[in-house]
């Protein structure tokens, strides 16, 4: 089983992003997804900056994949998408049917978590378009993924979101701008003030969601580290770690150790990273917010 770093879902400065990937080059991850998937206004890095990062990571031996924006509305959004899909050097992760349209026929793209692949017929169709790896939607359970593992087309790899706050929903509206009481067009890039989003609590102080611009994420991080034996049994090919502002290297090392080491991971491993707890409900076929330690 290999490890991947998913695309950075938050808005970090150019310096922060570059420093992050300079470190990531030495982490025990095999695949790195690069690019902005959430908001077109986040342009701290230009396309050329992303490609330069891609080159450096590829030189460090990483498999590089360029991720694409999920909600595409404007002609400018589509122009950026066309640029990425036609880059000619790196493979692409499709997160919308528009990307499938541009990538179809080219062999070897990744069908990302925002392509709704819930069944074997869809997976077969994606394989026919040239997908070589797929990431199940967040809400798909272990059992549903297991069914698909039996039915998956020849050569199709499966990558599971294994650590981080789950991307749950997208809107045309910006919830970060709403929290600051400013219009979306005058947001002044407030996402940068929240390097891991803004916590949303119920009136009883239960952690519910995380505000990340036009995206809502789970309140707690998903953590499948304790499921590593099960993931191995299911022959999952890649485990995705979602980039965090801190300790991403440590998280990757913990997964690596669990994959390579003789002993199963300790149940408290990484617990200090999530004072409000983790979730694994979706994997266990329950409401996503649940943490089922059994």
Partner 1 sequence: MAVVARKPELICPAGSLPALRAAVDEGADAVYIGFQDATNARNFPGLNFGPDAAREGIRYARRTGARVLLALNTYPRTAHWPRWTGAVDRAAELGVDAVILADPGLLHYAAGTYPDLRLHLSVQGSATNRHAIAFYHEQFGIRRVVLPRVLSLAQVHQIVERSPVEIEVFGFGSLCVMVEGRCALSSYVTGESPNTCGVCSPAKAVRWEETPAGRQSRLNGVLIDRYAPDEAAGYPTLCKGRYRVGEATYYAIEEPTGLNVLQMLPQLMASGVAAIKVEGRQRSPAYVREVTRVLRAALDACAADPRRFLVREEWSAVLGRLVEGHSHTLGALHRPWQ
Residues between 102 and 121 with contacts to partner 1, criterion CB under 8 A: 102, 104, 114, 116-121
Per CB under 8 A, 189 contacts partner 1? no
Closest CA to 145 of 80, 239, 209, 226: 239
Say whether 239 sits in a helix, a strand or coil. strand
Residue 172 interacts with partner 1 (CB under 8 A)? Answer: yes
Could you tell me how many residues of this chain bind partner 1 (CB under 8 A)? 73
Please tell me the distance from the alpha carbon of residue 85 to that of residue 81, in angstroms, as a whole number. Answer: 6
Burial 241-254 (b: 16+ CB within 10 A, else e): bbbbeeebbebbeb
Looking at the Cβ atoms of 200 and 274, the one nearer to partner 1 is 200
Q: Interface with partner 1 includes 205 (CB under 8 A)?
A: yes
List the x/- string, 208-237, binding to partner 1 by CB under 8 A.
xx-x----x-x-------------------
The answer to whether the CB of 251 falls within 8 A of the CB of 241 is: yes
Whole-angstrom distance, CA of residue 252 vs CA of residue 163: 9
Provide the 8-state DSSP code for 155.
Answer: T
How far is it between the farthest Cα atoms of the chain?
Answer: 53
Q: At its nearest, how many Å lie between partner 1 and the CB of residue 278?
A: 14
Q: Which of 178, 253, 273, 274 binds partner 1 (CB under 8 A)?
A: 178
- Sole window of 12-20, 26-34, 171-179, 224-232 interacting with partner 1 (rule: CB under 8 A): 171-179
Q: Which residues of 40-49 are buried (b: 16+ CB within 10 A; e: fewer)?
A: bebebbeeee
Least distance to partner 1, CB of residue 60, Å = 33
Asked if residue 26 binds partner 1 (CB under 8 A), the reply is no
Those residues whose C-beta lies under 8 Å from the C-beta of residue 69, and which sit 6 or more positions away, are: 36, 37, 38, 40, 77, 80, 81, 95, 96
Q: Whose Cβ is closer to partner 1: residue 4's or residue 218's?
A: 218
Q: For residues 3 and 255, is the Cβ–Cβ distance under 8 A?
A: yes
Q: Is residue 87 involved in binding partner 1 (CB under 8 A)?
A: no
Query: Residue from 57, 66, 81, 224 that binds partner 1 (CB under 8 A)?
Result: 81
Q: Which of 38, 72, 238, 239 binds partner 1 (CB under 8 A)?
A: 72
**Quick count: other Cβ atoms within 10 Å of Cβ 65?**
23
Count CB-CB contacts under 10 A for residue 50: 21
Please, what is the minimum distance in Å from the beta carbon of residue 177 to partner 1?
A: 7
Using CB under 8 A, which of 19, 22, 76, 169 touches partner 1? 169
Q: Decide if 220 contacts 18 (C-beta within 8 A).
A: no
End-to-end CA distance of the chain: 23
Closer CB to partner 1, residue 116 or residue 266?
116
Q: How far is the CB of 261 from partner 1 (least distance, A)?
A: 32
Q: What is the DSSP letter of 227?
A: G
Question: Applying CB under 8 A, does 74 fall inside the site for partner 1?
Answer: yes
- 22, 202, 246, 266: residue in contact with partner 1 (rule CB under 8 A): 202
- Find the binding residues for partner 1 in span 119-158 (CB under 8 A): 119-126, 137-140, 143-144, 147-148, 151
């Amino acid at each position: 089983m290999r490890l991947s770093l998913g695309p950075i879902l938050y808005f970090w400065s150019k310096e922060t992003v570059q420093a992050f990937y300079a470190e990531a080059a030495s982490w025990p991850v095999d695949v790195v997804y690069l690019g902005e998937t959430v908001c077109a206004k986040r342009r701290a890095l230009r396309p050329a900056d992303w490609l330069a990062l891609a080159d450096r990571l590829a030189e460090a031996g990483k498999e590089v994949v360029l991720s694409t924006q999920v909600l595409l509305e404007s002609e400018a959004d589509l122009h950026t998408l066309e640029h990425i899909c036609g880059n000619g050097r790196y493979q692409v992760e499709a997160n919308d049917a528009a990307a499938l349209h541009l990538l179809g026929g080219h062999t070897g793209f990744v069908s990302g978590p925002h392509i709704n692949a819930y069944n074997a017929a869809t997976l077969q169709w994606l394989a026919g378009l040239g997908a070589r790896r797929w990431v199940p939607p967040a809400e798909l359970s272990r059992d549903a993924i297991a069914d698909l593992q039996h039915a998956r087309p020849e050569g199709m790899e499966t990558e599971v979101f294994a650590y981080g706050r789950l991307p749950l929903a997208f809107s045309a509206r910006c919830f970060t701008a709403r929290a600051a009481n400013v219009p979306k067009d005058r947001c002044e890039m407030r996402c940068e003030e929240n390097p891991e989003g803004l916590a949303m609590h119920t009136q009883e102080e239960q952690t519910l969601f995380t505000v990340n611009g036009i995206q809502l994420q789970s309140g707690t991080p998903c953590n499948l580290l304790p499921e590593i034996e099960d993931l191995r049994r299911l022959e999952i090919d890649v485990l995705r770690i979602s980039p965090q502002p801190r300790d991403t290297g440590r998280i990757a090392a913990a997964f690596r150790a669990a994959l390579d080491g003789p002993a199963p991971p300790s149940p408290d491993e990484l617990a200090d990273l999530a004072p409000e707890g983790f979730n694994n409900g979706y994997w266990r076929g329950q409401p996503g917010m649940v943490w089922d330690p059994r």
